[in-house]
Amino acid sequence: MTEQQPHVETPNGLASPNFVETGDERNRRRIAFRRRFPVNSTYPRPGVVWLGGFKSDMLSTKAQRVDDWAAAHGRASLRFDYSGHGESEGRFEDGTIGRWMEESLALIRGQTQGPQILVGSSMGGWIALLVARELERLGEADRLAGMVLIAPAVDFTQALIWDKLPEPVQRDILEQGFWMRPTAYAAQPYPITRALIEDGREHILLNDVVRSHCPVHILQGMHDPDVPWEHALSLVHRLAGDPVALTLIKDADHRQSREEDIARLLMAVEGIA
């Protein structure tokens, strides 16, 4: 993984991203990221890593507010776009859970130092737990200071998409290789590919014990049409070996982007370490 360009300011005042290359020679892609260094580098407190959701990017409201919180508290922070998202290279249709997890692991290992708080939104919650599993396998579980998971969409490709699709749509995905899924979050539907579904099955977590190797705080809206609150309870049940707090917000939707939702998110992050 090699850094491609320096961090500079653009005319509109927003810092342009840096880029790193990830993947092997056949699947090389440039990943855009923004990194903030801690004020006190001698005795730094845990940094914060933002892991976005499906089709989201690092310039989203919550990602920016988490970075603002890090700046106000002198903390390190890292946010980035998965391939096919935001400012990173690649086609969204080529993305899979394994591919995006690989990129996340590479950025966390290469662009942060010391313990980190992983803040995962929706799909980012699944990615955070997969990264934790890989860090433990590599003997680096001490890099995990904690997690804050917002409506964690663990196993969503199977449990929340495939298992709910009518048979004709499943057949279209298998035969044509994709299905355009309507969404309330964009004018155009999202492609759900056969590769995304099949790769997702290789990363299923909820059929066994799940380990975070750190404290976890889950924020789950009860008016979430995409990730039912019962799904969060299933995750809590599987996280039997780690400290877990679950906050159910009766009137919150999937995005949790209201001011009160963001304030609750930042309080959860600050409460980790």
Give phi and psi for 30, each to the nearest 5: -95, 125
* Cβ atoms 244, 88 nearer than 8 A: no
Indicate whether 8 pLDDT > 90.
Answer: no
| pLDDT surpassing 90 at residue 127 | yes
Q: Give which of 193, 205, 190 is closest to 156, Cα–Cα.
A: 205
Distance CA 249, CA 218 (A): 11
Q: What is the mean pLDDT of the chain?
A: 93
Residue 268's SS3 state is helix
pLDDT confidence tier of residue 14, bands split at 50, 70 and 90: low
Three-state SS across 41-97?
CCCCCCEEEEECCCCCCCCCHHHHHHHHHHHHCCCCEEEECCCCCCCCCCCHHHCCH
> Which of 195, 208, 110, 104 minimizes the C-alpha distance to 154?
208
Return the pLDDT at 5.
36
Mean pLDDT for 133-148 is 98
Higher pLDDT, 6 or 170: 170
Kindly report whether the global pTM for this prediction surpasses the value 0.85.
Answer: yes
Distance CA 9, CA 162 (A): 43
Q: Where are the alpha helices (DSSP H) in 112-257?
A: 123-137, 156, 167-176, 194-201, 229-238
CA 28 to chain centre: 21
Could you tell me the CATH superfamily of domain 18-154+215-272?
Answer: Alpha/Beta hydrolase fold, catalytic domain (3.40.50.1820)
The tokens for 175 are 């035969």
Per-residue confidence (pLDDT) for residue 97, from 0 to 100: 98
For residue 265, give the 3-state DSSP assignment.
helix
- 152: number of Cβ within 10 Å: 29
For residues 148-174, give the mean pLDDT: 97
CA distance 231 to 90: 31
Residue 135 — pLDDT band, cuts 50, 70, 90? very high
The per-residue pLDDT for range 163-221, each reduced to its tens digit, is 999 999 999 999 999 999 988 877 789 999 999 999 999 999 999 999 999 999 999 99
Amino acid found at 41: S
> Cα–Cα distance between 153 and 150 in angstroms, integer?
9
Residue type, 173: I
Q: What gap in Å lies between CA 181 and CA 188, rounded to an integer?
A: 9
Both structure tokens of 22: 């990830």
Q: Per residue in 214-271, pLDDT tens?
A: 999 999 999 999 999 999 999 999 999 999 999 999 999 999 999 999 999 999 999 9
The reported pLDDT for the residue numbered 19 is: 97
Q: How far is CA 19 from CA 133, 137, 153, 255, in A?
A: 25, 27, 27, 27
pLDDT tops 80 at residue 42: no
More confident residue, 198 or 5: 198
Q: Can you list the alpha helix ranges (DSSP code H) found in 145-258? A: 156, 167-176, 194-201, 229-238
CA geometry: angle 158, 78, 80, nearest 5 deg: 50
- For 228, the token pair is 């039912």
